[in-house]
């Protein structure tokens, strides 16, 4: 990761607005038909949430703006992407788990299974600080559509 000059990126205006915003967070959500993803999950014995996270990472990895994030008063460009998911832990609470994104679905699945199990067992968040982390807002055991302006 490295600091970049916002004026030399496609994010100059967004960065300026972010720096002056009283609550600089926007949550976008869209209802999608996930029928094919459910079928793929069942047919191949893969976790649905893992496939959803991989699809989010795959989509984000192809958009250069997803690699940039304001940190303090600087704009940072990350070299890699991770996808965040929420894990129900053994104490009946929830923990956060960042999964490094890989174009290789098999590798992503291995990382997802290993890291989510680790977080569920030790009840400690798994944070990746050297990657741009894409939040999925997938809460375990709750039926909500999304949250805005957290």
Q: What is the pTM of this model?
A: 0.80
In a domain, 38, yes or no: yes
In a domain, 148, yes or no: no
Q: How many domains, the chain? A: 1
Provide the pairing of β-strand 132-135 with 81-88: parallel
In a domain, 149, yes or no: no
Identify the CATH number of the domain in which residue 98 sits.
3.30.559.10
- Identify the CA nearest to 95 among candidates 106, 86, 104, 84: 86
In a domain, 141, yes or no: no
Q: The tokens of 14 are what?
A: 């967004």
8 Å CB contact between 39 and 103: no
Q: The tokens of 79 are what?
A: 């070299």
In a domain, 140, yes or no: no
In a domain, 150, yes or no: no
| pLDDT (0 to 100) of residue 150 | 40
In a domain, 143, yes or no: no
Per-residue pLDDT band for 28 (boundaries 50, 70, 90) equals low
- Identify the CA nearest to 129 among candidates 87, 94, 100: 100
| Cα 68 to Cα 61: distance, rounded to the nearest angstrom | 11
Continuous H helices in the chain: 12-20, 35-44, 48-61, 105-122
Q: Which domain does 122 fall in, by range?
A: 2-135
| pLDDT (0 to 100) of residue 142 | 47
Query: Tens digits of per-residue pLDDT, 37-70?
Result: 999 999 999 999 999 999 999 999 999 988 988 8
């Amino acid at each position: 990761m490295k600091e970049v000059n916002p004026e030399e990126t496609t994010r100059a205006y967004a960065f300026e607005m972010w720096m002056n915003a009283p609550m600089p967070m926007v949550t976008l959500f869209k209802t999608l038909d996930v029928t094919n993803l459910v079928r793929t999950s069942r047919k191949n014995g893969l976790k649905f949430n893992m496939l959803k996270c991989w699809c989010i990472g795959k989509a984000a990895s192809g958009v250069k703006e997803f690699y940039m994030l304001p940190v303090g008063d600087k704009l940072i460009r990350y070299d890699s992407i991770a996808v965040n998911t929420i894990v129900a832990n053994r104490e009946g609470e929830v923990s956060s788990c960042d999964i490094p994104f890989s174009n290789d679905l098999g590798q992503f699945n291995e990382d997802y299974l290993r890291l989510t199990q680790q977080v569920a067992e030790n009840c400690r968040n798994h944070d990746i600080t050297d990657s741009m982390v894409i939040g999925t807002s997938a809460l375990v055991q709750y039926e909500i559509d999304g949250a805005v302006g957290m």
